[in-house]
Amino acid sequence: MNKYSFIIVLIATTLAVLSSCTEYSKILKSTDAELKWEYAQAALDSGSCFKALPILAELAGLTRGTERAQEVHYKNATAHYCVNDYYLARYHFSTYAKTFPNSNLVEEAEFKSANCSYLLSPNWSLDQTETRLAIQELQLFMDRHPSSSYREISQTMIEDLRSKLERKSFESAAIYHKTGQFKSATIAMQNALKDYPDSPYREDLHFLILDSHYQYATQSTNRRKLERFNDATQAFHTFATRFPGSLYLPDAQSIYESCVKAVETLESEEN
C-alpha cells in the first residue's frame, strides 16, 4: 500500500468512526423508545455491549410495567454480563428471576446469576467469601432445578470452587508450620481435616501434624516433653496406618524413632 492509499484508507476509517459516533449520539438523545430498543438489540447481537448498556438502562425505566419490561430487563442483565461486570449482571439476573417468576428464562437467569458468582471467585490465596457464596448459589440452583441441563456444569464448578477452599485451608494451616508456630499448626491442620475430610492434601496434613507435634515437643520444657513426644508417637501411628505407601514414610519413621528414644530417655530420668 503506497502513502496515498494509506491516507485514503485512514480518512475513510476516520469518517466511518465519526459517522458511527454521530449516529450513536443521536440514538442516545432520541425520545423514540422503539428506535432505542432496536439499536440496543442490534448492538448487543453484534457484541457492542458497552453501547447497548446506557440505552437498556434507560429502557428498563421507560418500559417498567409494560409487556416489553421482561425482555428489556433480561437484555440489560445480558449486557452487563457481556462487559464482564459480573456484580451488576448477577444482581440483574437475580432480580429478573424474582420479578418474573413465570418466565421461561428463570432457570437460565438463575444459572447465569450463580455463574457470575463463580466468575467473581478469586484466586485461592485471596479472601474466599465470593467462593463460598458461589457454592451456595450453585447448590441452590441445582436444588431448584434438579433436571436442569446446567446441572453437570454446575457440579463441575462447585468442585472447582471447593478445591480453592481446600487449597486455602491447607496453605493457611501450613504457614504455621513454616513459621515455627507448631502448636497452632497442629490445631489448624486438624481443623482443615475436619472441614475437608476428603481433601487432596490430607496426606500432607497428617505428616505435618506429626512433624509439628515432634518439633513442639523438642521445644518444650522437660516437664511437658514426655506428653508431647507421646502425642507425636500417636500421630505417627495414625499417619502410618492411613498412608502405608506414602513417600513421607521414611521421614515419618525417623521422627518416630527419635520420639521413642526421647521417651525412653525421659522415663529413665524420672526413675
pLDDT reported for residue 18: 38
Q: What is the pLDDT of residue 128?
A: 97
According to the model, what pLDDT value does residue 132 have? Answer: 97
pLDDT at residue number 168: 97
pTM (2 d.p.): 0.83
Residue 10 has pLDDT above 50, yes or no: no
Query: Per-residue confidence at 21, pLDDT binned at 50, 70, 90?
Result: low
Q: Residue 2 above 50 pLDDT?
A: no
Give pLDDT, residue 25: 82
H runs (alpha helix) in 127-201: 129-144, 151-178, 182-195
Q: Per the domain annotation, does 7 fall within a domain?
A: no
Residue where one domain finishes, among candidates 82, 105, 128: 105
Please state, in angstroms and rounded to a whole number, the distance separating the CA atoms of residues 236 and 213.
Answer: 10
Contact in structure between 81 and 89 (CB atoms under 8 Å): yes
CB atoms within 10 A of CB 259: 24
Number of structural domains (the chain) is 2
Above pLDDT 90, what percent of the chain? 80
Report the amino acid identity of residue 53: L
- Write the CB contacts of 73 (distance below 8 Å, at least 6 apart in sequence): 60, 92, 95, 96, 99, 100
What percentage of the chain exceeds 70 in pLDDT? 92
Domain-embedded: residue 132: no
Domain range spanning residue 73? 29-105
pLDDT at 39: 92
Position 24 in a domain: no
Which CATH number characterizes residue 55's domain?
A: 1.25.40.10
Cell numbers linked to 200 = 487432596
Same domain, yes or no: 172 and 267: yes
- For CA atoms 75, 79, 82, 87, the dihedral sign is negative
Would you say residue 135 has pLDDT above 90?
yes
Spatial neighbors of 266 by CB under 8 A, at least 6 apart, are 222, 225, 226, 229
* 182 within some domain: yes
Q: Is residue 154 part of a domain?
A: no
Amino acid symbol at 83: V
Q: Tell whether the model's pLDDT for residue 9 goes beyond 60.
A: no
- Residue range 35-57: mean pLDDT, rounded: 92
HSE on the CB side for 185, CA within 13 Å? 23
pLDDT single digits (tens) 197-212: 999 999 999 999 999 9
Distances from the Cα of 53 to the Cαs of 61, 143, 152, 182, in angstroms?
13, 32, 31, 54
Query: What is the average pLDDT across 142-168?
Result: 97
